[in-house]
Amino acid sequence: MDPIGVRAPFPEEQRDPAWRSNDEAKAAARADLLAAIESAFAGVSRAGGVSLHETEVIDRYGDKEAARRAQARDRDRCWQEVPHEDLAEVCGVGGICFFDLIGWRYYLPAYMTWFVSGGDTSHSLAAEYLIYALRPRHLELDPYHLTRYQTLDAQQAAAVVQFLQYVVRFGTVLQSDARAALRHYWDARSRT
């Protein structure tokens, strides 16, 4: 017995050296995921595509001049520079559902990075829309989602799968939707 009266553990009671707390496991998974997103989407450009604030104009059926002014508000030169607060705010009117294919591919890694960096903790509408955008309802009837998903190469699709698996394991409220997204499309995509 040690000085406070607690015996040493028996050999079969020893903690596995690879054991990690949930917080440690989440931090390690988050770091791996962020590295995967960074690598998969390195160099993706939005040149010629719809910008974040421009989606608000599109949703409101605005004119070309309003779209030009909105696009001028988005000064990011790469998806890593997209302000996380903008992703959370441009939602409900505009947002992830209103990008063209170029904008979709460009902003998707920004949204995923935002989500795992705390965007899901606010239970925001933007977080729900992100998962919704990755979860087709009826793929055979939904060329909108399928066309977007097909713009992603194998490494980018793998990063999306890793993101959805992270949400299933560590998410706050959207696990069932992330699980459904994997089941309805992404699991099969990751095997091809």
pLDDT number for residue 141:
55
What's the CA gap between 65 and 60, in Å, rounded? 13
Place of tokens 């696990």: 175
Task: Look up residue 71 and give its two tokens.
Answer: 């696009």
Q: What is the average per-residue pLDDT within 26-53?
A: 97
Place of tokens 């560590």: 170
- Render pLDDT for 50-108 as a digit per residue (tens, 0 to 9): 999 999 999 999 999 999 999 999 999 999 999 999 999 998 899 999 999 999 999 99
pLDDT number for residue 37:
98
- Arithmetic mean of pLDDT over the chain: 90
CB 29 within 8 A of CB 23: no
What's the CA gap between 145 and 130, in Å, rounded? 12
**Phi, psi for residue 71 in degrees, rounded to 5:** -65, -35
pLDDT number for residue 72:
96
pLDDT number for residue 167:
95
46 has pLDDT over 90: yes
Task: Look up residue 77 and give its two tokens.
Answer: 């030169």
Q: Which of 38-50 are b and which e, b meaning 16 or more Cβ less than 10 Å from the residue's Cβ?
A: eebbeebebeebb
CA distances from 96 to 1, 3, 57, 125 (A): 61, 60, 13, 11
pLDDT number for residue 45:
97
Task: Look up residue 26 and give its two tokens.
Answer: 């989440």
pLDDT number for residue 130:
93
